[in-house]
Amino acid sequence: MPPTQAIFNHELSTSLDSTHAFEGPEKLLEIWFTSPLKFDLRSIKYDSIVKILNLVHCEVLSKISNDQMDAYLLSESSLFIFQNKLILKTCGRTTLLSCLNLLFDTIAREINDSVSVQQVFYSRRSFFFPDQQLHVHSNWDSEVKILDSYFENGKSYIVGHNTNWHLYVAGEPAKNQPQDDSTLEIIMTKLSLASSKKFYSTRHPGDLANDESHDLGHDSGQEVLNKTGLNSLFKYKTEMSKTVDNEVHDGFAFTPCGFSSNSMNDNNYYTIHVTPEPGWSYASFETNMVAKDYKQIIDKCINVFQPGQFMVTFLTNSDVDQFECCLNDEYRIHHKEELDVGGYKLFFVEFVLN
């Protein structure tokens, strides 16, 4: 098994300045791989991961691991690597799709050239500032064209009403893919001022912690998780009614504002990202947990951020006929869709304040 030691890039953490960050909505890529031979994507060298991310225009702030996955907290969102899949989520002006050539070449070279793509998902919300995206992500048609050049039989979808959510799916589910594979994403905008203030920092780039083994960004990130109650999102009951609470957290508070965190327990990941600036405030929560009651998770999240509007996407291959997803009576459903995509069922619900 690959080494599981934590990595903290204290130099980057200390110098990083998010003053000019602007685009909160992320680009999200999830790729499942297959091979007739045994393989583990976590065997990719750390230096190779850094080179791949350089093409995306982001850097590694820190890395935590357990027996199931490696979780990288990035200067622009997150990367999760499992044995047979990876999830790359990046915000801002990152060029996520620019890394595909190098990613596939690296896997062939460092793992095995028999490793191939089983299934791919790419999604994003509409950008706040689409004209400021770089060429790879200039518009949805361009992104689909790039994806089609790498993957066969791809299909694209656009759902939503006032705000669109885009999805691209290619490939087929693996026969040994878990039958309870699900991804829940909550995408929130127009955060309340009271909520947004919780994600501003009084420190400045270059400020140093008293202990050289720490940095203020990561220390403050852990404090934000606790003070906001976001850490309570991970205290949930599974379908087997067992409480899962052996989580590991990695949070980072940006300066002057912004927040990111990765958390894990067993094979479950949770990632949160916040850009609280007035005018384009944004927050997202994503997890692959299989929970007994998603409504409580969503309600907790909404209570922390108090958004003016939010959308929920739930993609699952489990036998689910309907998806109930909000307890908070301050909101009403503005738009709702259900689609069958790539062997999965997609539930999309958009909420606005009453």
Per-residue model confidence as pLDDT tens digits over 317-331: 988 777 877 777 899
Query: Active-site residue numbers?
Result: 77, 91, 260, 273
pLDDT digits (tens, 9 = 90+) for 132-141: 898 889 899 9
Provide the 8-state DSSP code for 98: G
Residue 301 lies in a domain: yes
Whether 1 is covered by a domain: the verdict is no
How does pLDDT run across 178-189, given as a tens digit for each residue? 778 999 999 999
Residue 341 located in a structural domain: yes
- d(CA 201, CA 256) in angstroms, rounded, equals 5
pLDDT tens sequence across 21-61: 778 999 999 999 999 999 999 999 999 999 999 999 999 99
Is a pLDDT exceeding 60 seen at residue 173? yes
Give the CA angle between residues 5, 10, 16 to the nearest 5°: 130
268-275 sheet: strands from edge to edge: 248-253, 259-265, 268-275, 282-287, 182-191, 307-316, 344-353, 331-341
Q: Tens digits of per-residue pLDDT, 51-87?
A: 999 999 999 999 999 999 999 999 999 999 999 999 9
Domain for residue 201, yes or no? Answer: yes
How far is it, in rounded angstroms, from Cα 351 to Cα 354? 9
22 is in an annotated binding site: yes
Strand-pairing partners, residue 88, are 29, 79
Domain count across the chain: 1
Give strand ranges (E) for the chain: 7-8, 27-34, 60-65, 69-74, 77-82, 85-90, 116-125, 155-160, 164-171, 182-191, 236-237, 243-244, 248-253, 259-265, 268-275, 282-287, 307-316, 331-341, 344-353
**Would you say 76 is a known binding-site residue?**
yes
Say which CATH number the domain at 36 has: 3.60.90.10
Angle at 246 between CA 241 and CA 247, to 5 degrees: 110
**Residue 314 among known ligand-binding residues:** no
- Angle between helix 100-110 and 46-56 (nearest 10): 170
- Residue 151 is assigned to a ligand binding site: no
Residue 2, domain member (yes or no): no
Give me the domain span that covers residue 65: 7-353
Residue 83 falls within a domain, yes or no? yes
* Any domain includes 37: yes
pLDDT value, residue 140: 95
